[in-house]
Amino acid sequence: MTNIKALITTKKFILAISLISIILMFQAGTTSAAANSKGKPITLIVNGQIVQGDVNPSLIANRTFVPIRTLESLNLTFKWDTKSSSVTVNNSNLEVKLIVNQTTAYKNGLPIKMDAPTAVINGRILIPIRFISELFNFKVNYEIERVIIFINSNDYKPDPTLLESENLKEARLAAISLPWYKEFSTLENSRRNELDSYTYTFPKGEFNSYFYHNGYVQTYVKINNGVAQVIWQGDYHGGYDNSKEVGTRPNWDKILKNSIIITHDKTNKVAYGFASGPSDQLKMVPFMSYKDMAQSLSDEKK
């Protein structure tokens, strides 16, 4: 009897999560077949702040390149020399000269080898982030599940007041800007990012727990003491017989019945509203940067 009851509970849970997935995929007009073939662009978060330039970070020959100007918040200064097609990067202790399309750089005047040359894309200088971060002692973390690069200076500490903000939208932005902490290996499909459509689901009035859905896998995250910990993942897009789970299941009933969805759709807009409401009542705003994935409704209170 216990096994039958557990099986029924499991099927009910999978049905509930599947319904959330259907809501997320179709209320915002997003399906796998209609997804952007380019996939999800890389988001850059520097010292806790989302950085949006006119050129996105790029993956070139298995190396991640970022626009050099996006690192200004790390107290770096830059000087471009047109004659030599080079850029000099400085802080108070170090000077590094990078030459476009060359794998030799100069650290305080001495030559050093790079594993990938500096590039120019759409008139913007892009540098291999691993190389420059090691020279200037920055910490870099690439979170493949959400396609986010986190770059922090050595003395950076998250600002706890952002999560404590009475403004729910600001608190949610701080929440989704935290890197994930994982005590288990994430499901393979959670690392698939060919769909340029993804969704955050928050309980009404809350910011410190959410679902993230990449079109294949639901990931449940809770925030405690400024740390965003992955609690659970479920992959049900292949049906009940092929379902996979890792971690501890959340209280799905609460999230299903009283939740706010925020979806980036295939038209590069953000749709948000009650998950249980009709699709024509979803609010729509243009997607200008990752900051637009933090939304709240007028009748929500933190």
The string of pLDDT tens digits covering residues 39-98 is 688 899 999 999 987 788 888 888 889 988 888 888 889 899 999 999 999 988 899 999
pTM: 0.85
Residue 192, pLDDT score: 86
Among 225, 226, 230, CA closest to 212: 230
Q: Which has the closest alpha carbon to 152: 162, 139, 170, 165? A: 139
pLDDT, one tens digit per residue, over 150-169 is 999 888 888 888 998 999 99
Domains of the chain, residue spans: 12-42+160-293, 54-152
User: What's the whole-number average pLDDT of the chain?
Assistant: 83
Judged against a pLDDT cut of 90, whether residue 28 lies above it is answered with no
Are 171 and 182 spatial neighbours (Cβ–Cβ below 8 Å)?
no
Q: Does position 33 have pLDDT exceeding 50, yes or no?
A: no
What are the contacts of 155-163 at 24+ separation with CB within 8 A?
Answer: 156/47, 156/48, 158/48, 158/226, 159/48, 160/226, 162/48, 163/207, 163/208, 163/223, 163/226
Q: What is the pLDDT of residues 211-246, one digit of tens each?
A: 999 988 999 999 999 999 999 999 977 666 668 899
Query: What tokens does 241 get?
Result: 């017989």
The larger pLDDT score, comparing residue 155 to residue 177, is at 177
CATH fold label, 54-152? Copper Amine Oxidase; Chain A, domain 1 (3.30.457)
Helix (H) or strand (E) run with residue 66 in it: strand 63-67
CA atoms within 13 A on the CB side of 160: 4
In this predicted structure, the answer to whether residue 8 has a pLDDT above a threshold of 50 is no
* pLDDT higher than threshold 80 for residue 34: no
